[in-house]
Structure 1
Amino acid sequence: MIKYDVVLGPFAHNANSSVRIMYTVLLTLLPAMLFGVYQFGLNSLYVLLISALAAVLSEWVCLRLMKKPSIACMDGSALLTGVLLAMSLPPSFPLGLTVVGAIFAVVLGKQIYGGLGQNLFNPAMLARVMLLICFPVEMTQWADPTPIQFTSGMVDVPANWLHFDGITSATALSSERQLPIELWNTFFGQQGGSLGETSALFILIGGLYLLYRRIIHWAIPLSFFLGLGVPALIAHTIDSVRYLPFWTEWFSGGAMLGAFYIATDLVTSPTSVRGQLVYGAGCGLLVWLIRTYGSYPEGVAFAVLMMNAASPLIDHYMRPAVYGSRSLKEKKS
C-alpha cells in the first residue's frame, strides 16, 4: 500500500488582499470623480460624500448589531459601494434620497446576505434600480455640465456651480436618436449625465490600470464591449437613423463604468474565463436591448443584475478545470 504524505496545494500568493483591492479601485476612480465635480460643481461632491458616508455608517451599524468587529466597515467595500452608487446618480440628486439609496445598498444588497463575499447582486446597482423605480423623476433630472472656465488669466465660476441645482438637459441616450452626437463629446464628457457617464476617458484609464495590475480580468470588459458593440454596429449599418452607432453606445451612459467597475465585481461574476466571457457578453447584449427597445434609456444596472442572477448557473456549467485532472477524452485514450 502506497502511503502519501499530505502537502500543501500548488497555490501562489500575489500579496493582494480584499482591502488593498478595494482601495486600489477607489484610487483609480478618483480622476473620474474629480472631473465630475469640475463638470457639475459642488452639488456632485455633496452626493459623493453623503453616499460614501452613509454606506460606511450603515455597514458599521450592521456589524455592531451582528456582534462582528466594527473595524471591518473600513475595509473599503462599503466605501466603494457608496462611491459607485453616487457615480450612477444625477449630480443634483436629493441628499435625503442619496442616504436612502446608500443604506439600501449596504443593508439589503450586502449585509443581509452575510457580508462581504456572500452577496448575490451588485449592491450599488441594486440600490440604483430601487431608486429608479421608486423615484423616477428625481433619477432622470440630468444636469448640464457647467465647468469652471479659465480664460485670459481669469477664473469664471458659473453661478450654479456653488449651488445644489443646475440646468437640466438630456443625455446622449435619452435625447432624440435622429440628432447627431459627436464622438468627442461622448468620450471627453461634454454632455449631461451622472459622474460615471461623462468621464469615459478617465474611466478607461482607470480600467486599463486595473487590468495592468491584474485586479480585474480582461474577459469581462472585452466581451461586454463586444456584446454591446456588435449588435449596435449591425443595427446602425441597417438603419443609421433609428439606431445609434457603436461608439455612442460604448462611451455614453454607464457602459464604461459597467464594463470595468461593475460587471467585474469579483463576488457576483463567474470564476472561469469561459464563464466570464459568456457573462460579459450577456451584460453587453442586455444593455443594448434595454437601451434600444426598453422603456429606460440606460440599461447597465438592469443588465448587470440579471446576469448576476445567472452567474451561479454559468459557474455550474462552465467550471474551471481542477488542477492536475484529466478530461474524459484523455482518460479514454
Structure 2
Amino acid sequence: MENQLNISSSPHIRSKVTSSNIMLMVTIALLPASAFGVYNFGMDALLMLIVTTATAVLTEFIYEKLMHKKITIGDFSAVVTGLLLGLNMPPTAPLWMGALGSVFAILIVKQLFGGLGQNFMNPALGARCFLLISFAGQMTKFVYDGETGPTPLAYLKEGALSSVNSMDMLIGRIPGTIGETSVIAIIIGAIFLIMLGIIDLRIPGTYIVTFVLFIGIFGQFSDANVGFFDPQFITAELCGGGLMLGAWFMATDYVTSPITKSGQIVYGIVLGLLTGLFRLFGGSSEGVSYAIIISNLLVPLIEKVTLPKPFGKGGEK
C-alpha cells in the first residue's frame, strides 16, 4: 500500500511552455518592427508605443484589482496588446487617442468577455477599428519626412502604380502606421517566432497566397486597372499597409484563430479573400484590420465544420 499510484483525470501531458513564455517571445519578436518605427518616425512613435503599452497594462491591473480577480499582468498578454495597438497607430496621432484605444482593447474586448482566452476578437485590432470609426481623420493622417501625403496603398487604389517605389516599401521608407512600414523588420520577428515553434506557416502562408491569387486575378477589374498578375502591383500590395504585420502577428493569435489544421487553412483563405475584396473594391485602400476581425467572428463556425469526427457512436465508422 505504500507504493500506491496517484490517479488523476486527463490530460497527463505537461509542457514547460506557458502563456507568459509565449507572450514574452511575441513581445521580443515585435521589437525589430518597433525599433524601426522609432527610427523612422522619431520620438512621436516612441511615446505612442510607451503610452499604449503602459495604459494596457495599467488598465488590466486596475480592473482585476477592483473586481478582486487574480492579477495577470505578469503573463505579458496586456503588453502584447498595447504594443500591437501602438504599432497600428499613426505616429502623429494624439497620445490620448492611443491611451483610449488601449483602455477599449483591455476593458471592452478582453476583460468584459472573461480575460485572456475568452476574447472573441483580437483586442488590439478591435481597438484600432474603434478608433478608425471614431476618429477617422486623425487615424488616416500620415506624415513622413515632415510632409503629409497619401500612403503607397492610396496611390495603388487610384491606379497610380508608377508613383510607388517597391524597394522603399520593402525597407520601410514610406508613410504609414508605426509598425507596418518595414517588411524586413516584420519578417525578422516572424522568423524568430517560427524558429521557436510559436507560429507556423499554415495561417500566414495561406493568407498571403490567397491574397496574391485574388489581387492577381481581379486587380484588372478594380480602380487600380493593372494587368493580369502584374508583378509590381502584387509586390506593392504585399509590402504596403498592415498585411504583413497582420498576417504574422495578429491573424496567428492563439485565442482568436482556429485550433484545427484544416480550420486554419480555411481561416487563411477567408482572410485572403476578405483583404483582397476590401482593398480592390472597398471604399478604403486598406482592409486588413476588418478582414481579421470578421474572420475572428467566423472562427466558431470554421471549427465546427472542420472539427474531426470521433470514431464510434455518432461518428464515422
Distance in 2 of aligned mates of 1:16 and 1:285: 34
Distance in 2 of aligned mates of 1:73 and 1:241: 45
Q: Would you say 1:271 and 2:296 are equivalent positions?
A: no
User: Contact 1:271 / 1:320 at 8 angstroms: preserved in 2?
Assistant: no
Give unpaired runs (5+ residues) of structure 1: 147-165
Identity %: 38
In the alignment, which residue of structure 1 is the partner of 2:3?
none
Distance in 1 of aligned mates of 2:299 and 2:95: 33
CA offsets, 1:184-243, max 9 Å, x none?
Answer: 111111111012221111111211221221111321001110121111112346789524
Q: Would you say 1:168 and 2:148 are equivalent positions?
A: yes
User: Contact 1:229 / 1:247 at 8 angstroms: preserved in 2?
Assistant: no
Return the TM-score normalized by structure 2.
0.90
User: Contact 2:119 / 2:256 at 8 angstroms: preserved in 1?
Assistant: yes
In the alignment, which residue of structure 2 is the partner of 1:125?
125
Q: Would you say 1:55 and 2:33 are equivalent positions?
A: no
Aligned AA (1:40): F
Moved more, 291-300 or 229-238: 229-238
Count of residue correspondences:
304
In the alignment, which residue of structure 1 is the partner of 2:196?
213
Give unpaired runs (5+ residues) of structure 2: 1-5, 227-231
When you count helix as a share of all residues, which structure comes out higher?
A: 2
Distance in 2 of aligned mates of 1:174 and 1:25: 30
Q: 1:201 to 1:327 in 2, by over 3 A?
A: farther
Distance in 2 of aligned mates of 1:63 and 1:245: 48
Aligned CA RMSD, in angstroms, stands at: 2.2
Distance in 2 of aligned mates of 1:327 and 1:252: 51
Distance in 2 of aligned mates of 1:253 and 1:277: 23
Q: How far apart are 1:327 and its partner, in Å?
A: 11
Aligned equivalent of 1:178, options 157, 160, 165: 160
Distance in 1 of aligned mates of 2:279 and 2:307: 32
Q: Would you say 1:198 and 2:186 are equivalent positions?
A: no
Q: 1:98 to 1:320 in 2, by over 3 A?
A: same
SS in 2 for 1:196: coil
In the alignment, which residue of structure 2 is the partner of 1:40?
41
Distance in 1 of aligned mates of 2:80 and 2:224: 39
SS in 1 for 2:153: coil
Q: Would you say 1:249 and 2:237 are equivalent positions?
A: yes
User: Contact 2:85 / 2:102 at 8 angstroms: preserved in 1?
Assistant: yes
User: Contact 2:223 / 2:280 at 8 angstroms: preserved in 1?
Assistant: no
In the alignment, which residue of structure 1 is the partner of 2:135?
135
Return the TM-score normalized by structure 1.
0.85
Q: How far apart are 1:75 and its partner, in Å?
A: 1.4
